[in-house]
Amino acid sequence: MNPASLRRTLVFGGARSGKSAHAERLALAAADAGEIIYLATAAGRTDAEMQLRIEQHRARRDALGGQWRTVQEPMALGRALREHGRADNVVLVDCLTVWLSNLLFADGIEFPEMGPIIAPTAFTLERVDFLRALQEAPGRVILVSNEVGMGIVPQGAVSRWFVDEAGRLNQSVAAVCEQVHWVAAGLPLSFKGGPC
């Protein structure tokens, strides 16, 4: 595959697998002294544990160097890709599963422990818009996502729904991307598109 045609890359793996660090290195290498837009989906999350994670990510990016600009977008990823994606920059989205969680709880609904889960309207609309924007993106886009479906099947209905939808989202994004990398123990493995 021609390196110029590798515009979209999905990097996925388990928690603390090294996927974000790998995606950041890919973004820096692809930027060629241009700007890297870091689309952060954890915007608005204020608990201490999430703030610590955000600070760790920032410190790692600062240590890498390069021209990073953080844009916080917890919901409208499709709009953000259209607004910030250009042929001469790199957009790094971190991460899709946090975004999925944001969409699931967008309406503040209390979900039942048993029975069917009805997705909020925002989930359906934003998911469709995001996938369309990803297909149309004019420049380099690197996406980070968690693989959450390799453990036990969760007991609660909303947790099962989340695992199912994260798997479906990863499949849809992987189908659009020219490259797909799996990361485990800090080691990337190419599933699609040639070497890492």
Q: Tell me the C-alpha distance between 171 and 151, whole Å.
A: 18
Report, as an integer, the average pLDDT of 53-77. Answer: 83
pTM, two decimals, is: 0.91
Beta bridge partners of 10: 143, 180
**Average model confidence (pLDDT) across the chain:** 89
Query: pLDDT tens-digit profile of 172-190?
Result: 999 999 999 999 999 999 9
Give CA–CA dist 28/20, Å, rounded.
Answer: 12
pLDDT in tens, 72-108: 999 999 999 999 999 999 999 999 999 999 998 887 7
Which residue is it, tokens 């975004």? 99
What is the per-residue DSSP string for 54-76? HHHHHHHHHHH-SEEEEEE-SS-
What are the residue numbers of the active site?
57
Least confident of 26-40, 49-63, 160-174: 49-63
Report the C-alpha gap between 44 and 74 in whole angstroms. 8
Structure tokens at 134: 């990803």
* Range with lowest mean pLDDT among 77-81, 103-107, 137-141, 192-196: 103-107
Domain that holds residue 62: 3-192
Number of domains, the chain? 1
CATH of the domain at 77: 3.40.50.300
